[in-house]
Amino acid sequence: MNGVRLHKVPSKASRWGRTLGEWPAALFFLLPTVAVLGTFNFYPALYSLYLSLFEWNGLSPTREFVGLANYARLLASGEFWNSLRVTLLYAGGVTLLALALGLGVAVLLNQPIRGQAVYRVLYFLPVITPTVASGVVWKYLFDPTQGVVNRGLVGVGLEGPSWLSDPSWALVAVVVVGVWKRVGFNMVVYLAALQGIPKTYYEAAQLDGADSWQQFRYITLPLLAPTTFFLVVTALIDAFQVFDLVYVMTSGGPLGSTDVLGYYLYRQGFRYSELGFASAVAYVMFALIFLVTVIQFRLTRGGQGDA
Amino acid sequence: MLKPLKGLLTHLLLAGGAFLSAMPFLWMLTTALKPEIALYQPPLLFPVHLEWENFVKAWQAAPFPRFFLNSAVMTVGIVLAQTLFSAMAGYAFARMRFAGRDLLFFGVLGTMMIPFPVTLIPSFLVVNALGWIDTYNALIIPRAVSAFAIFLFRQFFLSLPRELEEAALIDGAGRLTIFFRIVLPLSTPVMAASAIFSFLFAWNDFLWPLIVTNSTEMRTVQVGLAMFQGQYGVFWTLLSAAATIVTLPAVLAFLAAQRQFIAGITSTGLKE
């Protein structure tokens, strides 16, 4: 995805108005958009930055300007670094696993097989399931004694951990749910991309004696690269902001082992009323996501030349 | 390799994966229909005796009717507002000529890059200052516009032939007439796509309703379910029944507009 290209309106349509254009009419059409996005997107994005320079509990009439002290406090906080680490582990885990599984399912589905539509729905259902409901159900599945997961493990002679209350397993469990919710999305996008690859490429490769693995390795994978890239970037951006699942399944625990940045921010802002400090956390998240977006932009710009 | 064998293997793999993918669903559904005591017996996917009572109990154990009403009002409000306002904006960006149009359009697209957590606290402060905490205004108005939907509409309008509109314009029709009489009626496919995205977004949303509502009467289904879970920790049959009730509208909406939804995802994902 290379961002959006603006289509030039043909200039011959000059009867649509002169240079000043149709501002009065356009204003009417754009008023709701400008008002809502301005008030609840642009202004908050800037105000967040401003707020991150203050110490304020949200109630007191005065707020104290502290400069970059919130950021300094953040960088000195073990909790913050833990939260950053957990977020990166979650995002990396979900992104990579869901990518591989999504591609696998898409490749299998991209054949003339029966029941394709049914499979597609079954794999896609988790994507549209409300996150809260998903969290509730998976909490049950991961229940140490009554849950299906551990009962299944006992069935094969293993003893499962107590997942969500075990600091070394809780994040694994949350990642499993994150992957489960993401595979269907990746599958659908990959499938559409696979269907866009001309069959003749494979026919030519077969004539040259390439086996299925070689065809996959040297035709499918390279041609899917832009799609893979898009999926990695969108998955990372989503995963950096994860909140609902953690809220429902673990509340950031045990011992901060699932305390992702989204949850950390929520706690600081809405539990401890540290609005300035929480805004600094928000801006660190912004920086992280911005970095990914910039890398995406750079790389896709670079790849556009030979397209 | 043997063709039939390969086909069989494909189906085995796909079916196994599909089972894992759908299993939590099935489990939720069947647990919701099990008597409480069945939880302590060896796990059977399907209950021997259907306990519809669980749904009634869950429905009554918390003010779910009220949560449903709130979510319904919020969802309908957001779907209608996002569809109409995004169509209007998409139309202006696709067809009208005015100074600063492209800049403004990039600004709108740019909002998609602002992560929600960044706007969370100031948006909350705005809503608070307006006295909207615990009102439908807070649940609907901040999300009355969707940059993604504007993008969808704009792309669609650009693909429409202009001749119809130009003829109407020559006949002296105004922009409003053209938009509502000619353009919108032609836009049902993209309206359906936009509406299904808005619906699922609104129905499943959690964090914003969580922070802008305080009273039980104003909670939405998702917030209500999270609270319910806090109270009924390990009453898995009731929890599963509640989770099923809350999931059902999303699944039905998806099944009804599956094609548009998937087309919407793939078109944004694959555009060069």
What is the predicted ipTM?
Answer: 0.89
CA distance A30 to B103: 13
Query: Which tens digit of pLDDT belongs to each residue from A58-80?
Result: 888 888 898 899 999 999 999 99
Instruction: Give the number of C-alpha atoms closer than 13 A to the C-alpha of residue A26, restricted to the C-beta side.
Output: 20
Residues B22 and B9: beta-carbon distance below 8 Å: no
Residue B99: inside a domain: yes
Query: Which tens digit of pLDDT belongs to each residue from A207-238?
Result: 988 888 899 999 999 999 989 988 998 899 99
The DSSP 8-state label assigned to residue B98 in this structure reads B
Torsion (CA) A290, A295, A298, A303 in degrees, nearest 10: -140
pLDDT of residue A2: 41
Residues B124 and B188: beta-carbon distance below 8 Å: no
Query: Which tens digit of pLDDT belongs to each residue from B212-248?
Result: 999 999 999 999 999 988 887 778 888 888 899 899 9
Nearest to A277 by CA among A57, A44, A62, A76: A57
Residue B228: inside a domain: yes
Residue A220: inside a domain: yes
Residue B9: inside a domain: no
For chain B, give the number of residues.
272
CATH number of the domain to which B74 belongs? 1.10.3720.10
Judgement on whether residues A82 and A66 belong to the same structural domain of the protein? no
CA distance A238 to B202: 17
Q: B18: distance to nearest CA of chain A, Å?
A: 6
Nearest to B76 by CA among B264, B202, B218: B202
Range of the domain at B127: 53-270
pLDDT of residue B47: 60
User: How many other CB atoms are found less than 10 A from the CB of residue A128?
Assistant: 22
Residues A246 and A161: beta-carbon distance below 8 Å: no
B174: confidence class by pLDDT, cuts 50, 70, 90: confident
Q: 3-state DSSP call for residue B25?
A: helix
Residue A187: inside a domain: yes
A7 or B177, greater pLDDT: B177
Judgement on whether residues A183 and A247 belong to the same structural domain of the protein? yes
Judgement on whether residues A283 and A262 belong to the same structural domain of the protein? no
| Pairing status of strand A54-55 against strand A64-65 | antiparallel
CA distance B86 to B73: 19
Q: 3-state DSSP call for residue A21?
A: strand
B136 or A63, greater pLDDT: B136
Under an 8 A CB cutoff, do B121 and A146 touch?
A: no
Query: Which tens digit of pLDDT belongs to each residue from A187-202?
Result: 999 999 999 899 899 9
Task: Say how many domains are in chain B.
Answer: 1
Please report where in the chains the tokens 């990642």 appear, as a residue: A175
pLDDT of residue B86: 95
Range of the domain at A282: 42-76+274-307
List A65's β-bridge partners, or say none. Answer: A54
Judgement on whether residues A66 and A134 belong to the same structural domain of the protein? no
pLDDT of residue B247: 93
B21 or B44, greater pLDDT: B21
Residue B15: inside a domain: no
pLDDT of residue A86: 96
A5: confidence class by pLDDT, cuts 50, 70, 90: very low
Residues A71 and A48: beta-carbon distance below 8 Å: no
pLDDT of residue B70: 96
pLDDT of residue A20: 57
Residue A280: inside a domain: yes
- Residue in A1, A28, A39, A40 to test binding to B, most B beta-carbons within 10 Å: A40
pLDDT of residue B45: 60
A16: confidence class by pLDDT, cuts 50, 70, 90: very low
Which tokens go with A157? 């002679």
Under an 8 A CB cutoff, do A240 and B120 touch?
A: no
Residue A7: inside a domain: no
Judgement on whether residues A207 and A256 belong to the same structural domain of the protein? yes
In this prediction, residues B47-68 reach a mean pLDDT of: 81
Judgement on whether residues A112 and A83 belong to the same structural domain of the protein? yes
Average per-residue pLDDT for chain B: 87
Residue A26: inside a domain: no
Nearest to A162 by CA among A178, A139, A182, A195: A139
**Contact residues, chain A, for B229 at CB < 8 Å:** 136, 139, 248
**Contact residues, chain A, for B118 at CB < 8 Å:** 44-45, 48, 282-283, 285-286
Which H helix or E strand runs over A55? strand A54-55
- Which contacts (CB < 8 Å, 24+ apart) does range A194-203 have? A194/A106, A194/A107, A194/A110, A194/A220, A194/A224, A195/A110, A196/B270, A197/A223
Q: 3-state DSSP call for residue A6?
A: coil
pLDDT of residue A304: 46
Judgement on whether residues A209 and A298 belong to the same structural domain of the protein? no
**Where is mean pLDDT largest: A89-93, A106-110, A208-212?**
A89-93
**Contact residues, chain B, for A283 at CB < 8 Å:** 118
Residue type, A178: G
Judgement on whether residues A131 and A53 belong to the same structural domain of the protein? no
- Residue in A30, A177, A182 to test binding to B, most B beta-carbons within 10 Å: A30
Any idea what the Cα angle at residue A101 is, between residues A235 and A154, rounded to 5°?
Answer: 115
In total, the C-beta contacts within 8 angstroms joining chain A to chain B are 301
In this prediction, residues B63-89 reach a mean pLDDT of: 95
Torsion (CA) B210, B212, B215, B217 in degrees, nearest 10: -80
Q: How many helices (H) and strands (E) does chain A have?
A: 14, 2
Residue type, B102: D
Residue B7: inside a domain: no
Instruction: Give the number of C-alpha atoms closer than 13 A to the C-alpha of residue A305, restricted to the C-beta side.
Output: 4
A153 or B77, greater pLDDT: B77
In this prediction, residues A88-94 reach a mean pLDDT of: 96
pLDDT of residue A4: 44
Question: Does B53 score more than 90 pLDDT?
Answer: no
Residues A186 and A98: beta-carbon distance below 8 Å: yes
B25: confidence class by pLDDT, cuts 50, 70, 90: confident
Residue A217: inside a domain: yes
Q: A168: distance to nearest CA of chain B, Å?
A: 22
pLDDT of residue B268: 65
Instruction: Using CB atoms, pick whichever of B40, B104, B272 lies closest to residue A2.
Output: B272
Residues A91 and B164: beta-carbon distance below 8 Å: no
Residue B171: inside a domain: yes
Tell me the percentage of chain B whose pLDDT exceeds 90: 48
Cα four-point dihedral sign B66, B131, A274, A71: positive
Judgement on whether residues A96 and A157 belong to the same structural domain of the protein? yes
pTM of the model: 0.89
Residue A202: inside a domain: yes
Give yes or no for a cis peptide into A254 (omega within 30° of 0).
yes
Q: How many helices (H) and strands (E) does chain B have?
A: 14, 0
Residue B89: inside a domain: yes
A301: confidence class by pLDDT, cuts 50, 70, 90: low
**Contact residues, chain B, for A137 at CB < 8 Å:** 24-25, 27-28, 240, 243
Query: Which tens digit of pLDDT belongs to each residue from A242-251?
Result: 999 999 999 9
Instruction: Give the number of C-alpha atoms closer than 13 A to the C-alpha of residue A199, restricted to the C-beta side.
Output: 2
Nearest to B212 by CA among B137, B133, B140: B133
Q: Quote the radius of gyration of chain A (alpha carbons, Å).
A: 24
Lowest pLDDT segment from A168-172, A291-295, B38-42: B38-42
Residue A13: inside a domain: no
Distance of CA A249 to the CA centre of its chain: 18
Residue B191: inside a domain: yes
Judgement on whether residues A194 and A90 belong to the same structural domain of the protein? yes
CATH number of the domain to which A140 belongs? 1.10.3720.10
**Contact residues, chain B, for A143 at CB < 8 Å:** 234, 236
**Contact residues, chain A, for B266 at CB < 8 Å:** 188-189, 192
Judgement on whether residues A224 and A291 belong to the same structural domain of the protein? no
Q: How far is CA A137 from each of CA A164, A251, A280, B93, rounded to the nearest angstrom?
A: 13, 16, 34, 43
Q: What angle, rounded to 10 degrees, do the helices at B3-32 and A78-109 form?
A: 130
Task: Say how many domains are in chain A.
Answer: 2
CA distance B136 to A255: 37
